[in-house]
Structure 1
Amino acid sequence: MTILVGYVPTDAGNAALSTAVSEAKLRSTGLLLVNTATGGNFAAGTFADEKDIDSVVAAIEEEGVSVTVRQLPDANPADALLSASEEAGIELLVIGLRRRSAVAKLVMGSTAQRLLLEASCPVLAVKAPL
């Protein structure tokens, strides 16, 4: 079994990553890191560049956890994470949360809410430290 983490290079993404690594060590399992860029929008700040991914992978491996990376440059984050969790038989999905206004939730929808409701595995939602 494997732990899946939805990673974005933000405080929330780093909090999720740290928690996912801890869970992988606790459960003696590997980690699948998925990073997406909605609609191919690389300027949005959610798609990690090669240098960032290399740094993250090195840090994870330093912790003694094996990691596989999937970068999907043109994928809906919720769809990508739900598909990956089904395909890989994921034991736990770890996601980061960020604050959003009520209007932003209404207009934009909520990836986290969709993952919490539709994932077939347990979901651990992590907030970035204040």
Structure 2
Amino acid sequence: MSVVVGYVPSPQGAVVLERALAEARSRGTRLVALNVARSPEFAQDYTADAGDLATLEEQLAAAGVEHEIRRGDAAETPADSLLDLVDEVGAELVVIGLRRRSPVGKMIMGSTSQRVLLDAPCPVLAVQHD
């Protein structure tokens, strides 16, 4: 079993990652971090570069939690990439970040978080980082 976290290289992403690490530690399970490539669903580019991934690897190794870092398929939506990974690893928990958006913004852009919350086959911990 695993805890899966949607990882973005940002201060907000660091908050979500810390919560996912705490969950993996408390459950005695591994952490699988997923970063997705640039997506039209995101206002910003959250693709982790080689430096971001090296820093993430160092942070996870220092935390003493068994872990794995994955990259999402650029051909899939972020939600599909995350949900596919959840199924693949048999996740017992998914940890995602939430951010405030206007109702119009949600309607126009869709909501990765909403899709994961509704379609994940396991519990989802949504961390608000605003």
Q: Under a length normalisation based on structure 1, what TM-score does the superposition of the two structures give?
A: 0.91
User: How many angstroms does 1:60 deviate by?
Assistant: 1.4
Q: CA deviation at 1:61?
A: 1.2
Offset at residue 45 of structure 1 (A): 2.2
Tell me how far apart the structure 2 counterparts of residues 119 and 29 of structure 1 sit (CA, whole Å): 19
User: How many Å apart are 1:72 and its aligned residue?
Assistant: 2.2
**Is the contact made by 2:73 and 2:81 (CA closer than 8 Å) also made in structure 1?**
no
Using the size of structure 2 for normalisation, the TM-score is: 0.91
Q: Which runs of 4+ in 1 moved over 4 A?
A: none
What secondary structure is seen at the aligned counterpart in 1 of 2:93?
Answer: strand
The answer to whether residue 124 in structure 2 is matched with residue 123 in structure 1 is yes
Alignment of 1:48-67 (within 5 A): 48-67=48-67
Does the 8 A contact of 2:37 with 2:47 survive in 1?
Answer: yes
How many pairs are equivalent?
128
State how 1:78-93 maps to structure 2 within 5 Å: 78-93=79-94
Secondary structure of the residue that 2:100 maps to in structure 1? coil
Report the counterpart of residue 113 of structure 1 in structure 2. 114
Displacement of 1:57 in angstroms is: 1.4
Contact 1:13 1:96 in 2 (8 A): yes
Partner Cα distance (2:51, 2:70) in 1 = 15
SS at structure 2 position matched to 1:8: coil
The CA deviation at 1:73 is 5.1
Q: Report whether the alignment pairs 1:18 with 2:23.
A: no
CA distance in 1, matches of 2:114, 2:39: 20
**CA–CA separation in structure 1 for the residues paired with 2:39 and 2:94:** 23
Tell me which amino acid in the other structure corresponds to 1:111: T
Residue 97 of structure 1: CA displacement? Answer: 0.8
* 1:41-100 deviation per Cα after TM superposition (whole angstroms, max 9, x unaligned): xx9421011111111111111111121111125131100010000111001000011111
Instruction: Give the unaligned 5+ runs of structure 2.
Output: none
2:33 is matched with: 33
Closer, same or farther: CA 99–39 of 1 in aligned 2, 3 Å: closer
The residue type equivalent to 2:45 in the other structure is G
